[in-house]
Amino acid sequence: MGHYISNLRDIEFCLFDLFGRESILGKSIYADLDRETAMGMLEEVKRLAENDLAASFVDGDREGVDFNPATGDAKLPASFKKSYKTFMDNEWWRIDAPVELGGTAIPPSIRWAIAEMVLGSNPSIHIYASGTAFAHVAYVYGTEEQKKIAKLMVDKQWGATMMLTEPDAGSDVGAGRSKAVKQADGTWHITGTKRYITSGDSDLTDNIIHFVLARPEGGKLGTKGLDLYMVPKFMFDFNTGELGKRNGVYVTSIENKMGLNVSATCEMNLGEKEPAVGYLLGEVHDGIAQMFKVIEYARMMVGTKAIATLSAGYQQALSYAKTRVQGPDLINAKDKASPRVEIIKHPDVRRSLMVQKSYSEGMRALVLYTATIQDAFALGEAEGLDADKLQDLHALNDLLLPIVKGYGSEKSWVLLGTESLQTFGGAGFTEDWPLEQYVRDAKIDTLYEGTTAIQGMDFFFRKIVRDGGRSITLLGKEIAKYASSGGNMPDEKKMLLKALEDVQGMITHMIGIAMESVDDPKQIYKVGLNTSRLLMATGELIIAWLLIQQADIAQTKLANPGRDKDFYDGKVASAKFFVRSVLPHIAVERAVVESETGAIMEISEAAF
């Protein structure tokens, strides 16, 4: 058995007790799936993740990517390729492929529950296996001829990349200088350099389709002037998939990173050695909107990866704390002859473990709650749901994505280092335990697909202000309705209402300042200084809401708990701990937001 310990019991509880996923199974587009089948899938992934996938986790880190600069080819460790092949041979890629091309119709909630275990055990496997997810984009947005590319990507299991970032542009995607020139045959020749390209090359697949943002010759400036092109590593026959000559897109270097070392992060050049031939997706000039469909998927994946790693870290820390004997019980600390005890009996270790438990369970629920919104949207589209209701679901999903990605990655990274690794003491700093790799691998989650600061700005300016407060109001009403419902957990529900009031107060204050900035532009700095703070506070509010709901259900089930008494007791304990130790901080955050002067923006750079 590898390093990874899953928490399928909690996944099942979230899916079926908390979110009632049985209500959507066996009907409409999910007619072929019931709870028993879904659990069978999850149990098989758990076995696969804990064994075959986890087996190469350490090798992938220690051996990394073998890059040949002369040819631009990247090779991966044999053990990792074995794990990847096992994953693909078991056909889990089908959950991302278009149903029309042999994909499996599966609710996003079940899909992301599966992804948690893959990402927790060996995240690079999930990342390299994204070709079918990209095929979905090609199939939905491509022309009839380009849909053949999507079919080949699925049938041949080709890889794919997302090429946005450029050396001088960074997160300012609209400043990219890659250029596309149309050819007489309708194809485009792409020139430019892209950086930090995940899965830019490997020996896992015969071909790779690069989804490249570039500006057509004469195109307007900014993000709206960018198009999305499909640029293959090898040219190919559209009907048979038979590979032809090498296309002009090459890896020029592999980044040396602090973690996620088996995932090839590449600098890539297009059009330097020979033309890099590309196909304009859909033959329409709408690149940034098309690419955002990929980015939304990637942000959900990044948040899920981070949260999965925190859960894995907690499971490791819990196991260690139950067996590591050190020091006397605090009650007997003065008695030098008192017996030594397992460290889980020490108060601060218990505090640390409960922090890890409550956050990992709460953020798992956050991911799956967001996925249930995606469930509802997919069903609504299939069944002709009213357009306004579909728009509400779409807006709510958009609102939650920066929380999943930004809040989820930030909290997971911090807690993995300050709590999970810390549980091991000095041993956690060594390679004898997987925690040091978890910490290194998880840091990237706060950085790629938009840093936490970018997520905070997106959350406030796009998902609240530009949305006219529609989705945040819907969410607030849902939380308030539950908090006022009576029944179990009355004290916790009362505190939840207070936290909701504080978050709403932060939003109201920041919107007011943003309006003032119309006449006094410098006022906007006060908002910019607090967008990340608002993101994190909203995340804490939602986690508390989800944990209290879990505890509410658990208290009812404790009337007849059977073998699950300890599990339900743990649910109640997590919620009570989180509400008492975390929620009060939201009031402090509100006070900080409301007292912001913006003075820091007046300090000279030399004073820093």
Backbone phi, psi, residue 77, to 5°:
-60, 145
Give per-residue pLDDT as tens, 528-558: 999 999 999 999 999 999 999 999 999 999 9
Give per-residue pLDDT as tens, 431-484: 999 999 999 999 999 998 899 999 999 999 999 999 999 999 999 999 999 999
Calpha distance 195→270 (Å, rounded): 11
Mean pLDDT of 32-58: 97
Is the CATH number 1.10.3720.10 carried by domain 158-285? no
Confidence of residue 218 (pLDDT cuts 50, 70, 90): confident
Calpha distance 134→130 (Å, rounded): 6
Confidence of residue 336 (pLDDT cuts 50, 70, 90): confident
Give per-residue pLDDT as tens, 26-36: 999 999 999 99
**Residue 176 confidence (pLDDT):** 77
Averaged confidence pLDDT in the chain? 95
Mean pLDDT of 130-159: 95
Q: What does the domain layout of the chain look like in residue ranges?
A: 8-134, 158-285, 460-601
**Residue 64 confidence (pLDDT):** 97
Residue 398, pLDDT > 70, answer: yes
Residue 381, pLDDT > 90, answer: yes
CATH number for domain 8-134, candidates 3.40.30.10, 1.10.10.10, 3.30.70.141, 1.10.540.10: 1.10.540.10
Give per-residue pLDDT as tens, 162-210: 999 888 776 667 667 899 999 999 999 999 999 999 999 999 999 999 9
Mean pLDDT of 314-321: 98
pTM: 0.96
Calpha distance 155→175 (Å, rounded): 36
CB within 8 A of 235, min separation 6: which ones? Answer: 243, 244, 245, 246, 247, 277
SS (H, E, C) 510-522: HHHHHHHCCCCHH
Calpha distance 86→138 (Å, rounded): 26
**Residue 510 confidence (pLDDT):** 98
Give per-residue pLDDT as tens, 62-96: 999 999 999 999 999 999 999 999 999 999 999 99
Buried b (16+ CB within 10 A) or exposed e, 234-263: bebeeeebeeeeebbbbbbebeebebbbbb
Give per-residue pLDDT as tens, 267-286: 999 999 899 999 999 999 99
Mean pLDDT of 391-420: 97
Residue 157, pLDDT > 70, answer: yes
Residue 587, pLDDT > 70, answer: yes
Confidence of residue 219 (pLDDT cuts 50, 70, 90): confident
Give per-residue pLDDT as tens, 228-271: 999 999 999 999 999 999 999 999 999 999 999 999 999 999 99
Calpha distance 299→145 (Å, rounded): 29
Buried b (16+ CB within 10 A) or exposed e, 521-545: eebbbbbbbbbbbbbbbbbbbbbbb
What would the CATH number be for the domain defined by 460-601? 1.20.140
Query: What is the residue type of 515?
Result: M
Query: What is the residue type of 211?
Result: F
Confidence of residue 224 (pLDDT cuts 50, 70, 90): confident
Residue 59, pLDDT > 90, answer: yes
Other residues' Cβ atoms within 10 Å of the Cβ of residue 91: 12
Calpha distance 475→500 (Å, rounded): 10
Catalytic residue, candidates 449, 540, 589, 596: 449
**Residue 174 confidence (pLDDT):** 67
**Is 449 an annotated catalytic residue?**
yes
Confidence of residue 588 (pLDDT cuts 50, 70, 90): very high
